[in-house]
Amino acid sequence: DAKTTQPPSMDCAEGRAANLPCNHSTISGNEYVYWYRQIHSQGPQYIIHGLKNNETNEMASLIITEDRKSSTLILPHATLRDTAVYYCIVPIEYDGGTSYGKLTFGQGTILTVHP
């Protein structure tokens, strides 16, 4: 599976955009990029995913570079409640011939939003 690299921590001021980068240089053509976040003591929460095109939903925007080797998650107006660990994941597509969308979580980026 494509491994991802994220900065261990980032800070953001409340009300400003938070831009979280992720490198996935070994991604293959059919592999998706997913973002999840985990607020302290809660289960992970799905945010957004994409393949080639940029994506936007009510939570965030995902910008994927043309070569697909990196992406950026954008929280347009960060709030204190967005303080969490953000995981960028490229799910494994096949493992021994079985496709099951396995999520392998790295250490993620701890985003701290401050007043």
Partner 1 sequence: DAMVIQNPRYQVTQFGKPVTLSCSQTLNHNVMYWYQQKSSQAPKLLFHYYDKDFNNEADTPDNFQSRRPNTSFCFLDIRSPGLGDAAMYLCATSRGANTYNEQFFGPGTRLTVL
Q: Which residues bind partner 1 (CB under 8 A)?
A: 30-32, 34, 36, 38, 41-46, 49, 51, 87, 91-93, 98-108
Residue 59 burial by Cβ neighbours in a 10 Å radius (0-12, 13-18, 19+):
middle
Q: How far is the CB of 12 from partner 1 (least distance, A)?
A: 22
Nearer to partner 1, 13 or 91 (CB): 91
Nearer to partner 1, 11 or 95 (CB): 95
Going from the C-alpha of 88 to that of each of 5, 57, 82, 97, 107, the distances in angstroms are 8, 16, 16, 24, 9
Q: How far is the CB of 83 from partner 1 (least distance, A)?
A: 16
Nearer to partner 1, 76 or 106 (CB): 106
Residue 24 burial by Cβ neighbours in a 10 Å radius (0-12, 13-18, 19+):
buried
Q: How far is the CB of 34 from partner 1 (least distance, A)?
A: 7
Q: How far is the CB of 22 from partner 1 (least distance, A)?
A: 14
User: Which pair of structure tokens corresponds to residue 70?
Assistant: 């990196």
User: Which pair of structure tokens corresponds to residue 1?
Assistant: 């599976």
